[in-house]
Each structure stands twice: as C-alpha cells, then as structure tokens.
Chain A
C-alpha cells in the first residue's frame, strides 16, 4: 500500500481546488462572448420588452455575421425585470454573477435604472441604458452609457417647438409621478421658464391609472392652448388620450417619446391624430434609421420605435467599443466608449460626453392619421 507524503496531498488538494477554475478559464477561451440584457418579459411593459429584445437581436445577428467581437461569436443572455424595480435589481444581480458577461444592456425605464445603479457600480462593467432622466449620468457611476437623448434635451425641444414654431403660450403639462415623468416635467418647466413662460397647470398622475377625468377637467378649466406630456406607460397614455378628446380638449399636444410609440398609437387610435412628439427614433431621420426600420419590419412585421432602436444601437456600440479597446477589460472598454465620436446609429449620431451621454438632440415628429412623419431634428452642442 502506497503512502502519500504531506507535499503530495497538498499538491493534490491545490489541483482539485484550481481545476474548476482552469477548466472554466479554458472553456471561456473558446466560448462565445456574452452580453447580459435586463428586459421586461412579464409585467405592463412586456410588449415593449419584446421590441427591445428584437432590436438587440437584429444587431447581434449582423455582428456575428461579420465575425463577431474580437473574433468571437456573441451571445445575449436575458433576464426578466418583471417591469418592477425589485425585478430589475434581481435580474441584474443574476446576470452580474455570470463572470463571462462583458457588458450589459439595461433598462429604458429611469426608475429601474436608479434601482440598479448601485449594483452596476459594484459590478464595474459597461452598461448601456435608455432611461432619459438627466440625473442618471450624474450619479458618479462611470459604467453608465446612455443610448437615448436625456430629458434636458426633450424638455428644450418640446418648449422650443411649442413656443417658437407653434407660437403657443398657455401650457398644460401632464406627467407620471415616477422618476422619469417628474424629472421630465421639471426639465420642461425649466426650459419654458427660460423662454419666459410659466405653465398654467401641471398635473401629475400615478402609473396604471384607470381614469383621467379629473386631470382632463383641470386642463379644461385652466384654458390651456397647448398640452405637453410625459407618460411612462402606453396604456395610461391611451386611456388619457381618449378621455381628453371625449371631454372636448382639442389643444395641440406635444408629447414625450411614448406618444409616438407603436403601442400607444394602436391603443389610442384617432385620439392621437395630429399630435406631435419628440422622438429619439424617427424612421426618416437618417439612412441608418431607415435601414434599421427595414430590418425590423422584416423580423417583427410592425413599424419600429425607440423601444427597439436604442437596444439595436446599444448592442452595436458595445461591439464597437470592445473591438476598439482590443480586449474586454472594463476600464479599456469604458475609455473606448467615451472616445466614440460621430458614430451613426439608428437613433442618431453618437458623440459620447464625459458623463456617458451619447446623443444630444431630438427629432420632432407628427402623427398623421396613425403614421409618423418626420418634421425636424434639433441638435444641441454636447
């Protein structure tokens, strides 16, 4: 019977402990490169989640067809955020435990981004997002990169278009009381005040409202000649739009991007005819936006909107930054991302500033009998 020496036992133990790591490392060398995506698969935004996954998938397929990232095929791993803040935190945490994931595509909802931000900071990997609350890129979180223009710009564009182009002065603002809606309202209010106008009525509402009669009556009583809105969920927007028209408010309406979303137009129908929206994505705004629209229609059989265009850009930007860095090291990818200038995506031209904001302007579009027509693009210096 042979006896093991203490040294042999120690060596054996070390090998046993190290083996899984060695095997994992070896398999990682040959495996695909992974991107994590936090997306609503269930909950009120589940439909939007489907669009978000489709946008990322279109980009992914093109990237893989062209050789992948750093010569590897790419794979997206999705987790359901359940359209809730706790769901988003849980989904991100699950993805963050996967050491193979090199970057993330997170949420279009600002409230969820606020909820996930501390974990994103701890994880320390580049995270693309679509929430438009301006404060999100001022949290001292170096890993957040925004793929949509923030609401400082939407507020400015709505105010400038309403006051200068339409020449209207008696403003009513309706907004969700969540982080997105409240900060959007504040940005618009500030932009209007900069133009010398104080809104005659500002009405907040809680998400998932079933009735907007009191809101509409307040607008009516204030005698508004122009309405602006920051709606988070298309269902709320649909109910509000119908009640607004039924109760006889016909003032021109310039809304935040949700007003031109496919779901909102389907739900509200003619109640949204002749409304204006600031839209980060507009099909006719550039050849890149048009090309994305063609690919999206071929896959989904419906018109694209910003729910899919930003994830399409997010996936492409991550690929571009990693390729530019030449490695997946988070700090190197961050540096490469911030150096991206003049990148033409579906949403517009990306010029990342030091805060991580990629886009600095909005399109104004008009709903003409259910189809979205591009009116103009307003760009601000980054």
Chain B
C-alpha cells in the first residue's frame, strides 16, 4: 500500500506543475482566444532568473524569488506588447505563429547568453523531505502542492470577489461588450499576460530543483500542460487544475504498473481518447467551437 501512496504523492506533485503551467495556458486562451506556445518558456526564463539572482549573485532566496517573479511580470508585459498586441486584430493563426517564433527566439537567446549547461538550483526549503513509514515526501513536491492549493484558492477569490477579477472575466467572455461597458480591454489583456507569465514562472522556479534549469525544461513541461488543458477542457480554469493533476497521476501509475518507457505514451493516449470521445474535455467547451 505504501507503494501506492508514494506513487500518488509523486503523481500529484508532478501533476501540480502541469496544472500551474496549464493555468497560464487557459488564462491567455480565455483572454485572447489563442494558444500561447511560448508558455513553457515562461517557466524556463523564470528559472534562469532565479539562477542569476540566487546562485550567481548569491542573494537571499526570498529576495531572488520576488525579483524573479517581478522580472516575469515585466517579461509578460513585453511579451504582450511584442508578440500579441501588434497582431491582435488578425486571426488566431498569425498570433500562434508569433508565439512559436517567440518561443524559439527566447530559447536560443538564453542559449547564447547562458550557454547549454544545465544549472543546479537547490531546494527552496532547507530540508530534503519527511519520511512517514516507508513513504518519502519530498519537500519540493510538498511545496509545489501547497503553492498550487494556495494559488487556486487565490485565483477563485480574485476572479469571483474582486472588481478587477470580474473585469478580466468579462473581457475573456466578450471583448466587445466589455469595451462597451467601459472596461479597458487592452489593459485587461496586458494584466492577463503579466499574471500568466508570473504563474508559469512560479511553476518553473518550483520545479527547477527537481528537473534542473536548462533551456529545454519549458518545452517538456508545456507539452504535458497543453495536454492537461485539453483533458480538463480548453479555457476552463478548474479543468486545467484537474487535467494537470490527472495527467501526473495517470502517467506515474501507468509507468509503475504497465511500462516505464511508455510513461509519456499514457499521457498522450489519454489525450487522444479525450479528443476522440470527449473533445470538450472534462469541464470545457469543444475546442472546435472555441477556435
């Protein structure tokens, strides 16, 4: 039974990372109706910022974390201005191509600036983890799960109980109507990009001590997070969380009980099954309708 608990804990831990990145996907999709294929690079850039502040400059972790997330807020704003805003009146296709281009540019720029070496970022907490019986709870996974819970609660409160949150929701539901009601749509979209970059960045910083910091870390996570958003229901916040967690648990148990080499295959098998039998995902609307 301990084996099951260990797998469940790890699955939820890795699933929480997918969920956080998926959340970023969903927020931008809801606001702009396009998929941001540079979402994974938000995680990578934030992790490298953390390496610069915490490892290279040896500043305190808490300060490095604040500066990295602040840096991601600026990055999100610049990303909006450079990648989305100039193409906002075009169809979704040029914007998607623009995000793919941005992804390649950011990855190669990081390679040119920082080199190809994977970097080590130590755990954010001072202890490695705790043993309960024969089950080991990695402190970093505990932190990731905790942050995911807090962030989901914060997001619920923010979107349901604040004026800014409601303005953002109104913008994502109907931009024209929101504009007619006096909501500054461009500013709302800007805030969405900033928030999305910060969430993606936080996921990158949290997972960096486990997966190391490398220019390819974002791509791997983003692929799974993208699958999670489709499983959960594209455009649905709760769906992104449930989809991410489900994906993490399914691939971990699939690897343990069926086959390790096909671990990624289980995640994408589930994705294909959803696309065939329930394309709207667990909570969402059909992707085809949204596109």
Contacts and interface: CB of A to CB of B under 8 A. Distances in A.
B28 to A, nearest CB: 23
A371 to B, nearest CB: 18
B285 interface: no
Contact of B116 (A50, A205, A248, A269): A50
B44 to A, nearest CB: 13
B3 interface: yes
A206 B138 CA distance: 23
Contacts of A47: 115-118
B151 interface: no
Contacts of A43: 216
Given A206-B264, A239-B212, A211 B252 contact: yes
A208 B115 CA distance: 19
Contact of A263 (B6, B7, B118, B256): B118
Nearest to A234: B118
Interface string B91-124: 0000000000000000010010001111010000
Contact of A210 (B128, B211, B261): B211
Contact of A239 (B117, B129, B211): B211
Nearest to A212: B260
A44 B211 CA distance: 13
A46 B3 contact: no
Given A239-B210, A246-B128, A263-B117, A204 B261 contact: yes
B118 A217 contact: no
A294 interface: no
B136 A248 contact: yes
A266 interface: yes
Interface residues of B, number: 32
A203 B3 CA distance: 17
Contact of A247 (B111, B136, B256): B136
Contact of B10 (A204, A213, A234, A239): A213
A42 B116 contact: yes
Contacts of B260: 203-206, 214-215, 218
A246 B138 contact: yes
A214 B6 CA distance: 9
Interface string A247-276: 110000000000000010011010000000
Contacts of B129: 246
A209 interface: yes
A267 B210 contact: no
Q: Which 7 residue pairs of A and B lie closest in terms of their CB atoms, listed nearest first?
A: A46-B116, A214-B256, A214-B255, A213-B10, A177-B261, A47-B116, A47-B117
Interface of B: 3, 6-7, 10, 14, 108, 111, 115-118, 120, 128-129, 134, 136, 138, 210-212, 214, 216, 220-221, 252, 255-256, 260-264
Given A44-B216, A210-B220, A248-B136, 12 more contacts: A46-B111, A204-B261, A206-B264, A210-B14, A211-B14, A211-B255, A213-B10, A214-B252, A214-B255, A214-B260, A247-B6, A267-B212
